Structure 1
């Protein structure tokens, strides 16, 4: 997405990586999305072919585990080791996305202000991003007020749905080293923090170097303002059947599920999510103030566990950037 906004140049390194086929200042919204899809496919194809080459060399020089292969069903019968797809149930090769919610939010801001309202030019937005919004605070505030995924607003939710449909389509065009299509996965782990450091500011109002949206269909922290029901309605619009995973994080204050009434509401929320087609959800039931205190006094919180984005860890063992990302997730006070 940054390449499309910056003429094929990585704004952080200054390297020209692709040649664009559109003039951003003259292109329609639909043409910008189409060019994003083309560039996305180009970059993902490079990544997948690169990993294919690594695994072919890996296999050719014999970096395999014979003992593991012997213990896994069908490898001996097929005469193929575990890394060649000899197993009865092979873990498919997959590529992982991070930050597609930020792309969707950014496109929604561009669509609203540049194309629908015409209250902002592409050059104005690009200049603000280039300067990390320094001197453009009012423009940033306007971008932050644009529709955001996670509030059951189709204006932006359907853009996010389209981004994941694009991701699913382009990811599966290359055949992996075991002869199967690469699979589109959305398990972010902690890459939302690491990849965010490699990205400049974005049209959703995010600052340069700040973390990206966690998980896959989680809202960007602090932007889901219409409550947990609206969030799950946004999340279940994404076509989970086209993806290997749709990791989803939510955070509640412990008081929200307190007592029998709170527990029943929590159960009904879960039932609603899965009845709407939800695939996966993971929760943090924790007080924001407790997390902040744990940063200051880690010696008092050796047993405080949190769910990050696909794994659970002791809060005090996480890096400060990951801790902040967990703290800043919207904390629902009620159901």
Structure 2
């Protein structure tokens, strides 16, 4: 469950009130992982409300998450929703925006995008099954420029997105035929008057099928590596890179070092950020051409939950320097763990270059060392950082305020740290109850020591 507070009312006036503050007070008085609390930020949101929310995070509550009224409302109005209804959005699940009684997200395909690059470079064959599932790269010598390679890959990515959407459409058809929801249906707009199960109704904006890319930042960094070391520097060939990937980099350490040293997303470097912007634009464009089983088109979204862990376990080595089975990047606009080295402002500037308004959700995790939020001045700086991010296209951001040393101690002595709560994706959890792989992923996120 996700309780949404703040933002604006349908008439555009500020929605913050005494209950907003009481819920934040309750969160600090009784911190637990559930229920999730999300604060909508509008231009009218009082700074003292944001400040109180940040105090809860500094205390270790790991919430609320922060979402941008501007970006979510823009998403809905782009799809023909009235401004009054769009202003009434709430969070469902983790951070997918929906309008109570007016929209419904049912099937969310967790799509492991780096696997498409692996299959493409393996002549269309899935190495796990041995089946040819997509068109392949063919002769690597045919690609004379990066643009040639990118176009061929994107054509295959589009085919893969359509396959993923087909799977989600089948899920929806089965839900409609086998799993009616009479209670939920009654709470939709005119539900008791119309008398139809909500699976059998059409709404003004259909978002029953959303397509979600997982590990997109790994793909971004991988394509940047291919562009730089194969096509521009010509340090080695595509065929040699494929050999290195097939060997999980063993014996090809020099090639891996070259790939790792290529600029990475999250550092305000246009070279790689432009690839991120283009891939997300392309994902949204292709997704919105696909018919959804309940009517309308499929909708792009961007959440990961914990799918980047099993997704990574399925992926072979990738050209960004990642090893076979290593966890994928968390979130959807978060940098890959430890790859953002130019500070939090640079990280947010990279994310601002992506058209996040096109997506129903976009997940951005950020971790601060406790010393970075000691003073009121620190909280003011972070308040301003959030406002600038949201005024320049950011959709969502959430914070962990904990140092890696504490997390490692909790791994070693879980009984002593049973109440330690961390933000994982669009939800919080007791750290010691996470799998070791997910614990390591949270630990390995970049730890900013200053605003």
Question: Normalising by structure 1, what TM-score?
Answer: 0.95
The 1:153/1:82 distance shift into structure 2, 3 A limit, reads same
Does 2:302 align with 1:186? Answer: yes
Q: What is the distance in 2 between the residues matched to 1:13 and 1:139?
A: 28
- RCO higher in structure (CA 8 A, sep ≥6): 2
1:305 to 395, 404, 421: 421
Aligned match of 1:68: 184
Alpha-carbon distance, 1:141 to partner = 1.4
Q: What is the distance in 1 between the residues matched to 2:160 and 2:345?
A: 35
Aligned match of 2:167: 50
**1:205-258: CA deviations, max 9, x gaps?**
000100111100000001101111100000111101111111101100010111
Are the equivalent residues in 2 in contact too, given 1:257–1:265 (CA < 8 A)?
A: no
Does 2:214 align with 1:59? Answer: no
CA RMSD of superposed structures (Å): 1.7
Alpha-carbon distance, 1:309 to partner = 1.2
Are the equivalent residues in 1 in contact too, given 2:248–2:324 (CA < 8 A)?
A: yes
Alpha-carbon distance, 1:87 to partner = 6.2
Residue correspondence of structure 1 range 1-335 to structure 2 within 5 A: 1-20=117-136, 22-27=138-143, 28-61=145-178, 63-85=179-201, 92-335=208-451
Are the equivalent residues in 2 in contact too, given 1:12–1:199 (CA < 8 A)?
A: no
1:94 is paired with a residue whose SS is strand
Q: Count how many residue pairs are aligned between Structure 1 and Structure 2.
A: 334
The 1:215/1:70 distance shift into structure 2, 3 A limit, reads same
1:281 is paired with a residue whose SS is strand
Flag as ranges the 4+ runs of structure 1 deviating above 4 A. 86-91
Greater strand fraction, Structure 1 or Structure 2: 2
Are the equivalent residues in 2 in contact too, given 1:4–1:35 (CA < 8 A)?
A: no
Q: What is the distance in 2 between the residues matched to 1:51 and 1:4?
A: 22
Question: Normalising by structure 2, what TM-score?
Answer: 0.71
**1:61-93: CA deviations, max 9, x gaps?**
4x2022222232223444532122356886532
Are the equivalent residues in 2 in contact too, given 1:72–1:87 (CA < 8 A)?
A: no
2:211 is paired with a residue whose SS is strand
The 1:67/1:131 distance shift into structure 2, 3 A limit, reads same
Q: What is the distance in 1 between the residues matched to 2:334 and 2:172?
A: 32
1:16 is paired with a residue whose SS is coil
1:250 is paired with a residue whose SS is strand
